[in-house]
Amino acid sequence: TPYKSLFTLLRYPNSRIIERQENSFARLEVVESEGVKYAPGLSLNFSGEIPEQLGLVTDGDGLSAITRLEGEG
């Protein structure tokens, strides 16, 4: 539906699903999108760059962020 996280993320320019897995219990998609921005507790005055993030979407909704940590390739 147009109200779920996956639909919303894919509306951002250059967004795409880079991985999809499903079984009888759930469907998971990994999404590359500028719409994934998760930084709880970050000050509004922060002027640095947020690390690269991918979105993990469960059953079309329930967005979680996958954050690339320093030094990961």
Does 4 score more than 70 pLDDT?
A: yes
The rounded mean pLDDT for the chain is 90
- What would the mean pLDDT of 8-28 be, rounded to a whole number? 95
Higher pLDDT, 9 or 71: 9
CA distance 73 to 3: 34
pLDDT value for 73: 58
Residue with tokens 């499903």: 22
29-39 confidence digits (pLDDT tens)? 999 998 888 88
pLDDT value for 50: 84
pLDDT value for 59: 95
Phi, psi of 7 (to 5 degrees): -60, -45
